Amino acid sequence: MMRKAVPFIRKDWQKRVEEIGFGFYEVDGLPYWDESAYYQFTSGEVDRLEEVTEELYGMCLKLVDYVVSHDLLERLGIPALFHDYVRQSWRRQEASIYGRFDFQYDGKGEPKLLEFNADTPTALFEASVVQYYWLQDFDPSKDQFNSIHEKLLDVMDHRLRSLAKGGVFYFSSVRGSLEDYTTSEYLRDVAMQAGIETGQIFIDDVGYDHDRRRFVDLEEKEIPCIFKLYPWEWMLKEPFAEYLLSTGMTFFEPPWKMILSNKAILPLLWEMYPHHPNLLAAHFAPPDTLTPFVEKPFFSREGEGITIGTSFSRRKEQVMYQEYRELPFFSGNYPVIGSWIVGSRSAGMGIREDTTPITNNLSRFVPHLFDQ
């Protein structure tokens, strides 16, 4: 694995990315999409990332089964009112579209799991489409660990089309975020290509029809299926939460993903698979050690609430502690590998880098390639 500066940047790159619907390549005047460099991998490194991603996903599914069968939902901070809702979703084996494992990886040792973004992962469009077209321009003879688009089409075609039952499948995100809107509309685009009838609705436009006891769109038509780029832990605290239990609307990601989007899975995985080569030591209690650990809230996004330290004197509610492993450092940048699982298959990766060791919502997306 190495980071390479490019000999040239596409002269009209802004126009090129806008043509494929990518509008948030800059944030607050700073670059988010950065093609002044790329990461180069060997095929062996890519093979390893692919294997580890599928192995970890298998371990995660076993963990969900363990949590459900041993009634550990309370421990994950999921409100008791929704325990049965989550359990039923798992027992019905409700389909999942995707998730993103974040790895610390330098190409030498084993990839180490930092976290699993199982509910509302983003940077999907950048990984699946934007870096694909970059490679087509830069050097189409090279390969890229990226069959995300094909695998999404496959999941939409074989698993989701039948769930839509000929009805409209809605895609939803928060109003005012072009990044989230693009991610949601990209998935809608793929669904349309799979022959699914689709609609778009912002999450705050979703209505509840008290007479019919159904969630409805802006024309008061029932919403049978919805992809929501909106975290479950937020939904459960909101006024419509109580209606979830009786409407029968199918959600993507499904309710059982509440378990895996919770950082409490990291100590649980460590308990189930102690010293697994792709896991970092993780605990619920502050570790009594001089080695640095990272304190992470069960529910946090984009590096929010994360602290690196050696001493955590006060035990807090709903936080966990994960062994600190320094990210690789290339020319002043710390890259994190985001490895995508689509359905249950490893599908590709995207890399985000930052000048600090905590990746956040302003970290840049940098493309990658590898030699076949």
Q: How far is the CB of 346 from other proteins (least distance, A)?
A: 10
Toward other proteins, which CB reaches closer, 286 or 338? 338
Applying CB under 8 A, the span of 6-14, 57-65, 237-245, 318-326 interacting with other proteins comes to 237-245
Q: How far is the CB of 268 from other proteins (least distance, A)?
A: 19
Q: How far is the CB of 330 from other proteins (least distance, A)?
A: 22
Query: Please, which of residues 4-33 interact with other proteins by CB under 8 A?
Result: 18-21, 23-24, 27-28, 32
Toward other proteins, which CB reaches closer, 89 or 173? 173
Residue 34 within binding range of other proteins, rule CB under 8 A = no
Query: Please, which of residues 214-233 interact with other proteins by CB under 8 A?
Result: 216-221, 228-231
Query: Please, which of residues 83-142 interact with other proteins by CB under 8 A?
Result: 117, 119-122, 125, 128-129, 132-133, 135
Toward other proteins, which CB reaches closer, 69 or 361? 361
- CA 68 – CA 81 distance, rounded (Å): 15
Toward other proteins, which CB reaches closer, 68 or 263? 263
Query: Please, which of residues 238-267 interact with other proteins by CB under 8 A?
Result: 238-240, 243
What character string, x for contact with other proteins (CB under 8 A) and - otherwise, covers 310-339?
------------------------------
Query: Please, which of residues 190-209 interact with other proteins by CB under 8 A?
Result: 192-193, 197-209
Q: C-alpha distances in angstroms, 242 versus 48, 79, 245, 292, 371?
A: 44, 12, 6, 41, 52
Query: Please, which of residues 144-163 interact with other proteins by CB under 8 A?
Result: 144-150
| One-letter identity of residue 179 | E
Q: How far is the CB of 176 from other proteins (least distance, A)?
A: 4
